[in-house]
Structure 1
Amino acid sequence: SLKSKVASFTLVELLVIIGILIILVAIAVPNLRFFQKESELANSAEEIINALRLAQNKTLASEEASQYGVYFDDTTTPHQYTLFKGANYTSRDTSFDEIHKLPSSIEIYEINLVGGGKEVVFFRIIGATDQSGKIFLRLKEEPTKTKTIVIQPSGQITLGEEALPTDTDRIKDSRHVHFDYSRVIDTSTESLILNFEGGVTKEILISENLKDGQIHWEGEVDVSGQVQKLKIHTHRLNNPDTQFCIHRDRRFNNKSLTITISGDLSGSLIEYSADGLTTTSTSIFVSNLQWQ
């Protein structure tokens, strides 16, 4: 009948409309999530700038007759930054700490400050700083989406270039190295072994050097009367693989070094020449060794 034909036609139209809506939603949802994460990145950068300016203003106002600064921690999960009271982060008054955690989708990709540290402290009266430089943020799932916070020696704080630093605007060298490691590490039993020239060896028990679920060790080793300073940590650990990050500043290191891990008999994690101009690896589990 005409009535049934009309009803059937209306049902077909309804199903087509529903199908179109499902397709539109499927297309729109990922885009909405992406824009949300980009918004989180922009907001995170602005919040860091605000924290730096607040620390500067507190210092200029001589609140509690003290200096203030901001410490950036790229070893926690998620990454975070702390507004603190004191001439430096180590000797700060912890009761004044203001800890700010970044969204899980955002990471501090690089900290490039004068002196090689992770904190910016301002001088009283003038508001300048000796720890000028840049803080780089990025989306974990879209690493080309970045924000850069620039701290000038004068104390001026701005949002800088948004492109990922490249060889044209920063120098890459072996001071800061990343590499991926595909074997699962037994953190309860394994050790990192530092083998310096001259037979000097340093064993680092991983179980005693974990922080917020990541390997984190920083220390000094005396090699024939010359102190070598290193920092070894991970950005991800057994998730599902591991990404190592090693800091070996040539200003404080002049001895060749081989780093191995006790559970891997295939070869070294990384090998440095004395001048740091050569870095290699022989482990079958290491890949993507890159100077930062």
Structure 2
Amino acid sequence: MSDQCLEGFTLIEILIAVAILVILIIIPVPAFRFFQKTVDLNNARDEIISTLDLSRTMTTASEGAAKYGVYFDKVNGKYILFKGNSYQARNPDFDKIYTLPSLVEISEINLKLTINPDEPSNEVVFNRITGTANQTGNLILKQKLQSPETRTIYVLASGKIVTEIPAVSENQRKKDSRHTHFNLGWSIQNATVLKFKFLSPQPNQIETVDMANYFNAEKTLFDWSGKFTVNNIDQEFRIHTHLLDSANTLLCIHRDRNSGKNTEEVVIYIVDGVDKEIAHYFADKNDTMQKGEIYVSSIEIQ
């Protein structure tokens, strides 16, 4: 009798153990599925950001002397890296098509043309040299099957791609001439001297920098920084290139006026056979700057 009870009790224990094991196996399945969907959503967001960044890099590098962009196909759950001024005018031979994970979809496309905010768009195209975007706004991804999880990608006018709205929008951010990009429209590869003409001392104080020491070997990069003392105040500058080839130069000048520095009026030239005026900084409180009228194609104050 005692043997039968012992055997019956052992069987019950086995059944309980099996039941517990089954429960332990079943319970994590929904959690794993939820985790997998979250991973897919994050991966989809990161891959789109990488593709946008890639198209911007290809554009600013003037790869194929063309613009690049990304087109979003909401209906088919795809996005396409393309070569051209627009998706409609692209060369389809260069298309690279990406497909979203099966559990992820494009919920909203809230992109608008920078020059015409009333016109919606399904693409983002970047500008050569500056890397700015022709479209701004956001793109929202969501999990399928009525899940509340979403991920938002923001496209800024500067061409930056971010996942959170900046605390201060680019339109609200105070911009001044302490950091300015100069699209010259010509190459400085044959230039020899940086020239600074400070107008306050009489006679004017002239400072020069031999440019040869600040190019890389291929002359595809120039980077100089230094300071001069004018009227007993340090005048500090950094001048470098974002783009330099045989045809063009995107030059960047940093002139920080914090802490009482850089208070003097100065004209900056690049000497390339002749003195080519690049920028004229004034000594007013507004930090006014004028670009050279002849030798600078356009500027962008950062």
TM-score (norm. length: structure 2): 0.51
Query: Partners of 1:53 and 1:150 in 2: how far apart?
Result: 12
Aligned partner letter, 1:89 = Y
Note if contact 1:51-1:70 (Cα within 8 Å) is conserved in structure 2: yes
Note the C-alpha offset of 1:2: 4.4
Aligned to 2:88: 90
Query: Partners of 1:125 and 1:111 in 2: how far apart?
Result: 27
Query: Partners of 1:119 and 1:35 in 2: how far apart?
Result: 30
Write the mapping of 1:111-130 to structure 2, written as runs, cut at 5 A: 111-114=109-112, 115-130=119-134
Query: Partners of 1:62 and 1:143 in 2: how far apart?
Result: 41
Aligned to 2:262: none
Query: Partners of 1:7 and 1:96 in 2: how far apart?
Result: 74
* Structure 1, gaps ≥5 residues long: 162-292
Query: Partners of 1:93 and 1:67 in 2: how far apart?
Result: 11
Query: Partners of 2:14 and 2:29 in 1: how far apart?
Result: 22
Aligned to 2:153: 149
Query: Partners of 2:93 and 2:10 in 1: how far apart?
Result: 68
SS in 2 for 1:132: strand
Aligned partner letter, 1:119 = E
Note if contact 1:147-1:160 (Cα within 8 Å) is conserved in structure 2: no
Q: Encode CA deviations 1:85-111: one digit per residue, 9 max, x unaligned.
A: 111001111111111111121110110
Note the C-alpha offset of 1:152: 0.2
Aligned to 1:137: 141
- Structure (1 or 2) with the larger CA radius of gyration: 2
Q: Encode CA deviations 1:38-60: one digit per residue, 9 max, x unaligned.
A: 11001100000000000001111
Aligned to 2:193: none
Note the C-alpha offset of 1:18: 1.2
* Structure 2, gaps ≥5 residues long: 113-118, 166-302
Q: Encode CA deviations 1:242-269: one digit per residue, 9 max, x unaligned.
A: xxxxxxxxxxxxxxxxxxxxxxxxxxxx
Aligned to 2:28: 28
Aligned to 1:59: 59
Which of 96, 99, 103 is the matching residue for 2:97? 99
Aligned to 1:247: none
TM-score (norm. length: structure 1): 0.52
Write the mapping of 1:39-54 to structure 2, written as runs, cut at 5 A: 39-54=39-54
Note if contact 1:59-1:127 (Cα within 8 Å) is conserved in structure 2: yes
Note if contact 1:59-1:66 (Cα within 8 Å) is conserved in structure 2: yes
Aligned partner letter, 1:107 = E
Note if contact 1:69-1:88 (Cα within 8 Å) is conserved in structure 2: yes
Query: Partners of 2:107 and 2:44 in 1: how far apart?
Result: 13
Query: Partners of 2:108 and 2:62 in 1: how far apart?
Result: 31
Tell whether 2:68 aligns with 1:68: yes
Aligned to 2:79: 81
Q: Encode CA deviations 1:2-27: one digit per residue, 9 max, x unaligned.
A: 44443332221121111112223222
Aligned partner letter, 2:109 = I
Aligned to 1:254: none
Percentage of pairs with the same residue = 45
Could you say what the CA RMSD is over the residues aligned between the two structures, in angstroms? 1.4
Q: How many residues were matched structurally? A: 159
Note if contact 1:108-1:137 (Cα within 8 Å) is conserved in structure 2: yes
Query: Partners of 1:132 and 1:85 in 2: how far apart?
Result: 19
